[in-house]
Amino acid sequence: MIITGSEITAAMDGRLKDELRTLNGHVPQLAVVRAGKDAGSLAYESSMMKRLSVIGLKVRPYTFAGDISGAEFGKAFAAINQDPSIDGILLLRPLPAQLDEKAVCGLIDPVKDVDGLSPVNMAKVFMGDESGFAPCTAEAVMEVLRWAGINPAGKRVAIIGRSTLVGRPLAMLLLRQNATITVCHTQTADVEKICRNSEIVIAAAGRAKLVNKKFIAEGAVVIDVGINADQAGNLCGDVDFADVVEKSSFITPVPDGVGTVTITVLARHVMRAAVCRRRAFSA
Ligand code: NAD
């Protein structure tokens, strides 16, 4: 069965619109911070801005030159953190080389950190504390599994990729639901065999069509997080969809897979940040 992102987000978007009506006219606002003009960031920014405005949320872009100094960026970032009209902050990455990504992530106010990049929110994910924000992509994968009725408890799960944005937090979210996880990376021996022995395979390596049917056991669940261009320049995932689709029980396509759900999870986080901040101010 093919699970598309748009089927999942149709219901989620409806719930968000209902929730928005309970905010008595307050429209949550997301700051999108970008330094430089990375092509992937530009594409994500434009599709995300369109989707958030359809849901009814405000997005304010903050765009900086690719050669901005660390000091200037830090100063501008502090002003965004302190701006009371901003409910959530999304930092687009990769950052230009002169900006220290770890240091910048450490600047984000945890209550506005809707993509879970700050050390406080990372720690909460690792501690199983649900009061923080998990990275939207990792949470989107959990949303896909939930929507498809796949309970990861007791299942062998292979995650290809160990990035701080996807692989690692996802391993923690799945562990909380009692899955048995193997996190594969570039130094892992025989990724193919590990995947073939798994009931759920989640590909987040950033390698076009890496996962073919030799990686997949009959009836496995295949979730494709990757967003890449193939040799012809067309958008594709980390999974060779045509090769794997018949062998899998559930599979997400690219486009219209996890990426679509990620944006709705982001909208949900912005809404939650706005509600929490309003509660804090009225207490
Ligand atoms: P990253 O480059 O930070 O991490 C990639 C990880 O994959 C690394 O841990 C690396 O060790 C591992 N890896 C790479 N090649 C491998 C191989 N051949 N075998 C085993 N492991 C391998 O990337 P990221 O930010 O985690 O993103 C991964 C992919 O997901 C990219 O294609 C990115 O565009 C996509 N992405 C999608 C969404 C979404 O919403 N769908 C969001 C973020 C990223």
Ligand 1 close to Cβ of residue 183 (< 6 A): no
Residue 282 lies in a domain: no
- Domain limit, last residue, from 55, 75, 110: 110
Residue range of the domain that includes 57 = 12-110
Ligand 1 atom with the shortest distance to the CA of 258: 41
Ligand 1 close to Cβ of residue 163 (< 6 A): yes
The number of domains in the chain is 2
Q: Are residues 42 and 105 in the same domain?
A: yes
**Structure confidence by residue, pLDDT tens digits, 225-281:** 999 988 888 999 999 999 999 999 999 999 999 999 999 999 999 999 999 887 777
Residue 273 lies in a domain: no
Residue 267 lies in a domain: no
**Structure confidence by residue, pLDDT tens digits, 93-112:** 999 999 999 999 999 999 99
How do strand 235-236 and strand 228-229 relate by DSSP bridges? antiparallel
Say yes or no to pLDDT of 12 above 70: yes
d(CA 21, ligand 1 centre) in Å = 37
Q: Are residues 176 and 214 in the same domain?
A: yes
Whole-model pTM? 0.96
Residue 74 lies in a domain: yes
Residue 184 lies in a domain: yes
Say yes or no to pLDDT of 8 above 80: yes
Q: Are residues 142 and 246 in the same domain?
A: yes
Q: Are residues 227 and 140 in the same domain?
A: yes
Mean pLDDT of 128-144: 97
Q: Are residues 142 and 253 in the same domain?
A: yes
Ligand 1 close to Cβ of residue 225 (< 6 A): yes
Q: Given this model, what pLDDT does residue 153 score?
A: 98
Mean pLDDT of 171-193: 98
Q: Are residues 157 and 249 in the same domain?
A: yes
List all residues 6 or more positions away from 271 whose beta carbon is below 8 Å from its beta carbon.
Answer: 16, 19, 20, 28, 57
Q: Given this model, what pLDDT does residue 278 score?
A: 78
Q: Given this model, what pLDDT does residue 198 score?
A: 98
d(CA 238, ligand 1 centre) in Å = 9
Residue 272 lies in a domain: no
| CATH code (residue 146) | 3.40.50.720
How do strand 235-236 and strand 200-203 relate by DSSP bridges? unpaired
Mean pLDDT of 61-84: 96
Q: What residue owns the CA closest to ligand 1's atom 35?
A: 226
Q: Are residues 142 and 102 in the same domain?
A: no
Say yes or no to pLDDT of 115 above 70: yes
Percent of the chain with pLDDT over 70: 99
Q: Do 225 and 204 touch, CB atoms closer than 8 A?
A: yes
**Number of Cβ atoms within 10 Å of the Cβ of 91:** 24
Q: Given this model, what pLDDT does residue 277 score?
A: 81
Ligand 1 close to Cβ of residue 160 (< 6 A): yes
Residue type, 168: R
Q: Are residues 149 and 255 in the same domain?
A: yes
Residue 16 lies in a domain: yes
| CATH code (residue 95) | 3.40.50.10860
Q: What residue owns the CA closest to ligand 1's atom 6?
A: 161
Residue 242 lies in a domain: yes
Q: Given this model, what pLDDT does residue 268 score?
A: 97
Q: Are residues 85 and 163 in the same domain?
A: no
Q: Given this model, what pLDDT does residue 283 score?
A: 63
Q: Given this model, what pLDDT does residue 279 score?
A: 77
Instruction: Kindly report the average pLDDT of the chain as a whole number.
Output: 96
- Domain limit, last residue, from 92, 110, 128: 110
Q: Are residues 239 and 186 in the same domain?
A: yes
Q: Are residues 97 and 20 in the same domain?
A: yes
Q: Are residues 91 and 158 in the same domain?
A: no
